A = this chain, B = another copy of it.
Amino acid sequence: MKIGKIGERALINEIAALVAKTADKQVIGIGDDAALTPVSADCWLATSKDMLIEGIHFLLPEITAKDLGYKSLAVNLSDLAAMGAKPRHAYVALALPPETEHEFVLAFYQGMLELAERFNVTICGGDLVASPGPMVISVTVQGEVPKTCALLRRGASAGDIVCTTGPLGASAAGLLLLTHKIQCSQAVRTAALQAHYRPWPRVEEAMWLAQTGMVTSAIDLSDGLLKDILEVLEQNKCGVLLEAEKIPIHPAAVKVAASLAKPAWELALNGGEDYELLCTVKAAHFAELARAYEARFAQPLYALGRLTAEREIRMITKEGKWEKIEFTGFKHF
C-alpha cells in the first residue's frame, strides 16, 4: 500500500514495532518529541531531528535565508523544550541545488546563529550535498535534562488541567497572509509573519516547568493543537474537554480570520506551527504553578480545558453547547 494511503500514524507504529525488537531498554525512543538516551549518571541526552523540504515546509523566495536558518533551528529547539531539556549542540545537513547563491547559505547560517547564540547552542557539524530537486534541510539537536525532570508525552491522567504557554493561531494567520490576498493593518501583518517566520521556542519556560515537578506530560504545538493533543490523549488513554472561550487566540489570528469570514478558533485549533508548549498539570497544583509561572515569566500559563476518562475530544462553548470535534490539522502524508 502507498504511504499516502496508509498514513503517517500507522506507518510510524509499524516502524516503531520493528525497531523496538532491538532497542536498548534504557532508551526512551520513538513517540516523543525527542529521544532520551543515558549518557551520564544524572542526565538524559535528548536528541531530536526534523527535516524541512522546500515546497512543503517552506516556500522560496517568500522566506528569506536568514529566517529559514532561524526557523530550522527554532522548530528543533522546540522539540527539546517539550522534553524540558537544555539545548547544547546542533548539526545541520543541507541538500542544495547547485545554483544556490553562496550568500544564501551564509545568511542561512547567520539566521541560525542568532538563535543559537541566544540559547548557547554550538553548531558542531553536518553535511552539505547537492540536490537535483528541492532544497532540503535536516537539523539534529542535542540537549540535556536531569533524569528526575524530563517531560514526556505520557504521565497524564483524567482530571489534569491542559495548559499552554502562549496564544495560538498567529503562525497560521501568517501563512494565510502569504497565500491569500488579505487586507489588514501593518501591525497585524508584522505580528503574523513574525510568528510564522520567527517562532520563539519555549526553552526557558519548559526548563522551568520541568524542574517544578508539577507537569504530568508535555508536547510542543507544531502540527496544530488538535492533532498534537491527540498524541497526548493516545499515550495516556484519555480524552479532553476544551473550553472554547479559554483557548488563547492570538489577536493577529482573530483579525486575519475575520477578514476571511472564518472562525478564529479554527486557526488556533488546526493552524499549526505555534511552537508553544502544551502541558498537563494535576488540578490540585495548577493554581500554584500558574501563579509562580506568571511571577517568573510575566505572562500567563493558559488553562484551556481538562483531560477526561471519556476518550473523545469535546469542546464546550460559552453558551454551554457541547461539541465533539475532529481535527483537520497538518498531515505529513
- Residues of chain A at the chain B interface (Cβ within 8 Å): 1-4, 6, 8, 11-12, 14-15, 18-19, 21-24, 27, 29-30, 32, 34-35, 37, 39-40, 45, 47-53, 55-57, 88-89, 91, 93-96, 98-103, 105-106, 109-110, 113, 116-117, 120, 122-134, 136, 138, 140, 142, 144, 332-333
In the complex, residue of chain B having the shortest beta-carbon distance to the beta carbon of A88: B37
Distance of A128 Cα from B56 Cα, bound (Å): 13
- Please indicate the chain B residues that have their CB under 8 angstroms from the CB of A21 in the complex: 113
Task: Select A93's contact among B12, B51, B100, beta carbons within 8 Å.
Answer: B51
Q: Which of A11, A19, A131 has the most B CB atoms < 10 Å from its CB?
A: A19
- Please indicate the chain B residues that have their CB under 8 angstroms from the CB of A128 in the complex: 8, 11-12, 15, 332-333
Contact B37 A101 (CB under 8 A): no
Contact A106 B15 (CB under 8 A): yes
- Please indicate the chain B residues that have their CB under 8 angstroms from the CB of A1 in the complex: 101-103
Contact B142 A4 (CB under 8 A): no
- Please indicate the chain B residues that have their CB under 8 angstroms from the CB of A56 in the complex: 129-132
Contact B127 A2 (CB under 8 A): no
Contact A126 B49 (CB under 8 A): yes
Query: Known: A89-B37, A124-B30, A142-B37. Contact between A100 and B51, CB under 8 A?
Result: no
Contact B51 A91 (CB under 8 A): no
Contact A125 B53 (CB under 8 A): no
A2 to chain B, nearest CB (A): 5
Contact B22 A124 (CB under 8 A): no
Distance of A89 Cα from B30 Cα, bound (Å): 12
Contact B125 A35 (CB under 8 A): yes
Contact B40 A113 (CB under 8 A): no
- Please indicate the chain B residues that have their CB under 8 angstroms from the CB of A103 in the complex: 1
Contact A129 B27 (CB under 8 A): no
Distance of A40 Cα from B39 Cα, bound (Å): 7
Contact B124 A29 (CB under 8 A): yes
In the complex, residue of chain B having the shortest beta-carbon distance to the beta carbon of A132: B55
Query: Known: A113-B19, A123-B19, A140-B91. Contact between A99 and B4, CB under 8 A?
Result: yes
In the complex, residue of chain B having the shortest beta-carbon distance to the beta carbon of A39: B39
A314 to chain B, nearest CB (A): 30
Distance of A183 Cα from B34 Cα, bound (Å): 50
Distance of A91 Cα from B138 Cα, bound (Å): 11
Distance of A103 Cα from B6 Cα, bound (Å): 11
Distance of A102 Cα from B51 Cα, bound (Å): 19
A42 to chain B, nearest CB (A): 10
Contact A93 B27 (CB under 8 A): no
A27 to chain B, nearest CB (A): 5
- Please indicate the chain B residues that have their CB under 8 angstroms from the CB of A332 in the complex: 128-130
- Please indicate the chain B residues that have their CB under 8 angstroms from the CB of A27 in the complex: 89, 122, 124
Contact A138 B51 (CB under 8 A): yes
Contact B22 A122 (CB under 8 A): yes
Q: Which of A18, A34, A94, A99 has the most B CB atoms < 10 Å from its CB?
A: A18
- Please indicate the chain B residues that have their CB under 8 angstroms from the CB of A22 in the complex: 113, 116-117, 122-123
